[in-house]
Amino acid sequence: QVQLVESGGGSVQAGGSLRLSCAASGNTDSTVCMGWFRQAPGKEREGVAGIYTQPPGIPYYVDSVKGRFTISRDNAKNTLYLQMNSLKPEDTATYYCAAGGPSCVGRRSQTSAYNYWGQGTQVTVSS
């Protein structure tokens, strides 16, 4: 089992920045992928960014956040981050951290590739 706890959400004006954190605990050695997803009201959960744990490789980003968001991981702290810059109102959503085992390889953008999920943290961007 892997436990994930997100933090860092909040309200910000368009153009602002936020950094989300996801602290992982438990059987983290079994984790192959970690990612960030988001879900806005009335919409499906969307893969925002994903990274392999070892080695990280090239991160995955959904097109709408490329150049604005950066995913990273501090292995020593077992913490995943999502730096979000130049935020837009359409980035408003609940953001979830996720972790997956070997089945996530090549599928980092897919919710079904991940076994463990955090409780979510709200990000609200006002215009």
User: Quick one: average pLDDT of 99-122?
Assistant: 94
* pLDDT surpasses 80 at 56: no
Long-range (24+ apart) CB contacts under 8 A made by 103-106 are: 104/32, 104/33, 104/35, 104/50, 105/32, 105/33, 105/52
Which residues on neighbouring strands pair with residue 11, listed in sequence order? Answer: 124
**Is residue 42 very low, low, confident or very high in pLDDT (cuts 50, 70, 90)?**
very high
How confident is the model at residue 55, as a pLDDT?
82
How confident is the model at residue 11, as a pLDDT?
98
How confident is the model at residue 26, as a pLDDT?
95
How confident is the model at residue 57, as a pLDDT?
83
User: Quick one: average pLDDT of 16-40?
Assistant: 96
